[in-house]
Amino acid sequence: MKRISNILMLALLAMFANAQEKKDIMHITFSNGETMTYNVAEIESITFDVETEEEEEVPPTFPNADGSSRLNPYDTQNTASSLLRSAGIACTDTMGRIVITETEYQEIKLFTDNLVKGCTKQKEIHDKCFNWITSNIKYGTEYSDGSYVNNDPYPVFVKKIAVCQGYSNLLFVMLHSQGVPVLVTNGYLNGYGVFGGHAWNYVNCDGVWYVSDPTNGGIFEMAKTSSYTHLIPQSFDVILFDKEGCRFDFNEAHLNICSVNTKSKYFVTPYSVGGYQVTSFNPTSDLPANVRELYIGKNIETFGINRVGLNYHGTNVEYIHVDPQHPTLTSYKGVVYNIGSDEPKYIPAAMKTIELLPMKSIGKNLIYGNNNVEVVVVAEGTSSIEPWAFEKCPNLKVAYVPEGVQIADNAFAEVHPDFQIIRGSYTGNK
């Protein structure tokens, strides 16, 4: 430390000397009478690598209610239209999930240019494209050779056969090539004697949103939701909002957090965006590797069907906190439960020690295919562990199981070779 202080002093003196007049050599006399000579250029060239301790991040708080409106996922027509009105046509500035080469796109554009020549209104352009598709594209699942149809827009344009996805993909490209705001939506059709998956379009023509279903020949004003109740939207192929390190989409009939960008180890789910409550956290891209803990606000209703998004894209998450005011969810030792249930709803993928709530019986595949768990703690009050309750967990080394809990054969299957069961109460990491 003393040597560093002396060097710093020399460097400061060198700077001072140069500020007064240009010198190559500096003579310094110390308090003991000793005089030393220094090369100014050498002193000025000294650099320092100073190690500093990183400040520990302060755990965040849960998001506060902000007066935003909650959308009803069971009234999907109004939910979808409300979100589009809030996001505006800027959200359509994307190709979404369309698969097409530039050459293919330009060929369709050239055709469409000629088709709509003379049209001055976006609605006229839409109607021309819509009518051409309904008149020229045949509905079908197979080509004449028995192979399945390709529903990407160019094969549909060339071979003129598709299912609903192909119809909506081609309409998208034709309108996109003319600068008409358009997107593809997926959901359900409950009409024409059919109930099943379906794809169609939302189009903004001259400032007015329309629901356009080229497969069935239907065009509806979006605002008149009662006119298209047979079309039940579930998702859009666009990003609706990009705000404060998060992207949001319409997914499984919810306003959803689909991607996250943060340098913090903590991620707090936002309460709202665009004037509406965010009700889903179902990421479609990997969370940043630095995110280790999630703070789930009371506004989040779902992690998506089967928690697919977090299972695939939240593999670095170790712990989840749930707002104590949440109406349906709670957390215990970082594991998420439905309130009133003893079976975990979601176990963080990177959690190494899993402490469970008391369960009457731990059934098959409670924990399956988990490569990170090393320790499982079965709670007092649990009665039994059924066969294959814990399976394909190659790093699971220890299970703490209270005395009296019945353990079936193969309750712990395909675990670490040195796996052991320790009877008794768990008192912490050992």
CATH of the domain at 191: 3.10.620.30
- Residue 260 covered by a domain: yes
Beta carbons of 212 and 202 less than 8 angstroms apart: yes
pLDDT at site 56: 78
Helix (H) or strand (E) holding 291: none
Distance between CA atoms of residues 188 and 304, nearest Å: 17
* One domain for residues 346 and 377: no
* One domain for residues 219 and 250: no
In 279-366, DSSP assigns E strands to 280-281, 293-296, 319-322, 329-332, 335-338, 344-346, 353-355, 361-362
- Residue 68 covered by a domain: no
pTM for the predicted model, two decimal places:
0.84
Distance between CA atoms of residues 346 and 338, nearest Å: 9
3-state secondary structure of 293: strand
* One domain for residues 341 and 356: no
pLDDT at site 7: 46
- Residue 62 covered by a domain: no
State both tokens at 167.
């119809």
Beta carbons of 356 and 377 less than 8 angstroms apart: yes
- State how far Cα 124 lies from the chain centre: 37
**Of 180, 209, 192, the residue nearest 77 (C-alpha):** 209
* One domain for residues 131 and 206: yes
pLDDT at site 235: 97
Question: Could you tell me what percentage of the chain is helix, strand and coil, using 3-state DSSP and rounding each to the nearest 5?
Answer: 25, 30, 45
pLDDT at site 8: 45
Instruction: Report how many domains make up the chain.
Output: 4
Please compute, for residue 234, the number of CA atoms within 13 A of its CA located in the half-sphere on the CB side.
Answer: 11
* One domain for residues 125 and 203: yes
* One domain for residues 83 and 172: yes
Mean pLDDT for each consecutive 10-residue tract of the chain (430 residues)? 46 47 58 63 56 72 96 96 97 95 98 97 98 98 95 98 98 98 98 94 98 98 97 97 96 97 97 98 97 98 92 96 98 97 96 96 96 96 97 97 96 97 80
**Of 69, 67, 71, 62, the residue nearest 250 (C-alpha):** 71
Beta carbons of 288 and 315 less than 8 angstroms apart: no
pLDDT at site 307: 86
* One domain for residues 358 and 249: no
Distance between CA atoms of residues 410 and 400, nearest Å: 16
Among the three residues 300, 330, 351, which one is the final residue of a domain in this structure? 351
Distance between CA atoms of residues 225 and 385, nearest Å: 51
Q: Read off φ and ψ for residue 188, nearest 5 degrees.
A: -130, 150
Distance between CA atoms of residues 205 and 199, nearest Å: 19
Inter-CA distances, 371 with 132, 410, 428, Å: 53, 18, 21
pLDDT at site 238: 97
- Residue 148 covered by a domain: yes
State both tokens at 193.
């004697």
**Of 280, 275, 289, the residue nearest 248 (C-alpha):** 280
Among the three residues 351, 368, 387, which one is the final residue of a domain in this structure? 351
Q: Read off φ and ψ for residue 70, nearest 5 degrees.
A: -100, 130
Inter-CA distances, 11 with 17, 51, 52, Å: 10, 20, 21
- Residue 66 covered by a domain: no
Q: How many DSSP H helices and E strands does the chain contain?
A: 8, 31
Beta carbons of 163 and 149 less than 8 angstroms apart: yes
Among the three residues 182, 216, 236, which one is the final residue of a domain in this structure? 236
pLDDT at site 428: 75
* One domain for residues 262 and 225: no
Q: Read off φ and ψ for residue 281, nearest 5 degrees.
A: -125, 90
DSSP state letters, 368-380: ES-SS--EEEPPT
- Residue 21 covered by a domain: yes
Q: Tell me which residue range forms the domain holding 335.
A: 242-351
- Residue 189 covered by a domain: yes
* One domain for residues 226 and 360: no
* One domain for residues 409 and 274: no
* One domain for residues 19 and 140: no
- Residue 193 covered by a domain: yes
Distance between CA atoms of residues 372 and 247, nearest Å: 28
* One domain for residues 372 and 317: no
